[in-house]
Amino acid sequence: MLKPNFEPFPVIVTSRLLLREVTIADAADLFFLRSDAAVLKYLDKEPEKSVDETIALINQVKKNKEDGDGILWGITLKDSNILVGSICYWRMQKEHYRAEIGYALHPAQQGKGIMDEAIKAVLQYGFETMQLHSVEANVNPANEASMKLLERNGFVKEAHFRENYYYNGQFLDSVIFSLITPLK
């Protein structure tokens, strides 16, 4: 069974990015990512209503990390400590060596290859360090940019569930992508 250990927190550095632990000092930036209409357009979730709600999330993320149940990286540019996005492993199925990946990026940073760079690094960490066998992504089928990002990174469409999710007064579809451990 998968036994993730995220202590000390695994900081990941890429050519342009620093993926680091999210702290209370990031609450305002994370609140933006979890409440902005453009960021949430395809996430089909209610926006957070206050920074206090975001602080509660940061505390839950810390507990999940300590328990080995999930991990959230804040995405920053190397020359700035400002959170421009987030990427995580959550909904871990430890007995199956599988986790779901999730991500969000500030609209001003989209289209610059930032999430592509972040996802490559996090997938490498997931497969090499965490010893995941597979990674899943659940996507709103209208989110073409996210589906293209996943496909560029080797994910394969596994399923299209029709009206399996109820949000905001309507039934919505979900598309499931997955990536199996790449061969060395």
Give the pLDDT confidence score for residue 182 in this predicted structure: 77
User: What mean pLDDT is reported for the chain?
Assistant: 96
Q: Is residue 132 exposed (0-12), middle (13-18) or buried (19+ Cβ within 10 Å)?
A: buried
Total domains present in the chain: 1
Residue 3 domain flag:
no
Rounded Cα gap, residues 39 and 17, in angstroms: 20
Task: State pLDDT tens for residues 134-176.
Answer: 999 999 999 999 999 999 999 999 999 999 999 999 999 999 9
Quote the domain boundaries for residue 176. 12-180
Residues 31-46: tens digit of each pLDDT? 999 999 999 999 999 9
Please check whether residue 69 lies inside any domain of the structure. yes
Give the CATH number, domain containing residue 171: 3.40.630.30
Question: Is 78 domain-assigned?
Answer: yes
Residue 129 inside a domain? The answer is yes
148 phi, psi to nearest 5 deg: -65, -40
75 occurs within a structural domain: yes
Instruction: Please indicate, yes or no, whether the overall pTM of this predicted structure exceeds 0.85.
Output: yes
Q: Is position 17 within any domain?
A: yes
